[in-house]
């Protein structure tokens, strides 16, 4: 657990009961999940007082009916999907989550691809692959088609734009897991720009060294 009141805050180890009482916003999730990463970035950008509690999807089972990470406890409420967590954070910032139709289209396309890619990744651990399960071929085709469409699309470069962030979280995770060849210059240059923001760079899936 660490205090993440601002993006540069050092990690500090508080006894759990003190920390739970002091924090009214606690994000639960893993260090590698791209959905969790997007929420961590938005919270770091928000200036809100919040904390991160490393939580596995297995641990989420007893807490959230979605049985996944991330989930967020905030103001006595439980939010069980990254999209609604982002909406909560942006509204607390006085901003709209996904300001227009173009942003919504890009965000949801990247999200559809990310959902498929994560499912493929998890199923591959049980030897379910596109080669032995026809529906998974369709899932893989969706990921590949979406990567191509996202590479061709005009994307906002604003580091707090949730369409740009969702695409970047997807691309960085897929590269980290070595799942897809993503070499399109438009996607890589956008990723490089977002990496200039410490909130994004410090949450790379390899950075579980930040775990307390």
The answer to whether residue 22 forms part of the interface with ligand GSH (CB under 6 A) is no
The answer to whether residue 158 forms part of the interface with ligand GSH (CB under 6 A) is no
The answer to whether residue 116 forms part of the interface with ligand GSH (CB under 6 A) is no
CA-to-CA distance for 201 and 205, rounded, in angstroms?
Answer: 10
Question: Residue 23 or residue 27: which is nearer to ligand GSH going by CB?
Answer: 27
Sheet harboring 71-74: ordered strands across?
2-3, 51-54, 25-29, 71-74, 77-79
Question: Residue 35 or residue 88: which is nearer to ligand GSH going by CB?
Answer: 35
Question: Residue 3 or residue 169: which is nearer to ligand GSH going by CB?
Answer: 169
The answer to whether residue 139 forms part of the interface with ligand GSH (CB under 6 A) is no
The answer to whether residue 68 forms part of the interface with ligand GSH (CB under 6 A) is yes
What's the closest the beta carbon of residue 102 comes to ligand GSH, in angstroms? Answer: 20
What is the residue-wise DSSP string for 53-112? Answer: EE--HHHHTTT-TT--S-EEEETTEEE-SHHHHHHHHHHHTT--SS-SHHHHHHHHHHHH
**Beta carbons within 10 angstroms of residue 145's beta carbon:** 12
The alpha carbon of 208 is separated from its chain's Cα centroid by a whole number of angstroms, namely 14
What's the closest the beta carbon of residue 143 comes to ligand GSH, in angstroms? Answer: 14
Kindly list the residues in this chain that would bind ligand GSH in the complex (CB under 6 A): 33, 35, 57, 67-70, 81-83, 118
């Amino acid at each position: 657990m660490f205090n993440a009141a601002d993006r540069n805050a050092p990690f500090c180890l508080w006894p759990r009961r003190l920390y739970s009482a002091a924090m009214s916003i606690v994000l639960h999730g893993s260090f590698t999940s791209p959905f969790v990463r997007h929420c961590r970035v938005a919270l770091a950008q928000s200036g809100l007082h919040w904390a991160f509690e490393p939580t596995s999807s297995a641990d989420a089972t007893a807490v959230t009916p979605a049985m996944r990470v991330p989930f967020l406890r905030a103001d006595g409420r439980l939010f069980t999907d990254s999209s609604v967590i982002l909406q909560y954070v942006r509204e607390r910032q006085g901003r709209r989550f996904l300001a227009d139709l173009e942003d919504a289209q890009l965000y949801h396309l990247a999200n559809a691809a990310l959902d498929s890619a994560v499912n493929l990744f998890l199923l591959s651990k049980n030897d379910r692959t596109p080669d032995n399960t026809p529906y998974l071929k369709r899932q893989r085709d969706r990921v590949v088609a979406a990567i191509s469409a996202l590479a061709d699309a005009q994307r906002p470069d604003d580091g707090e734009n949730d369409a740009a962030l969702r695409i970047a979280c997807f691309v960085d995770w897929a590269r980290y897991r070595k799942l897809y060849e993503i070499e399109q210059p438009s996607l890589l240059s956008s990723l490089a720009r977002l990496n200039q923001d410490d909130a994004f760079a410090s949450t790379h899936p390899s950075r579980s060294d930040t775990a307390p």
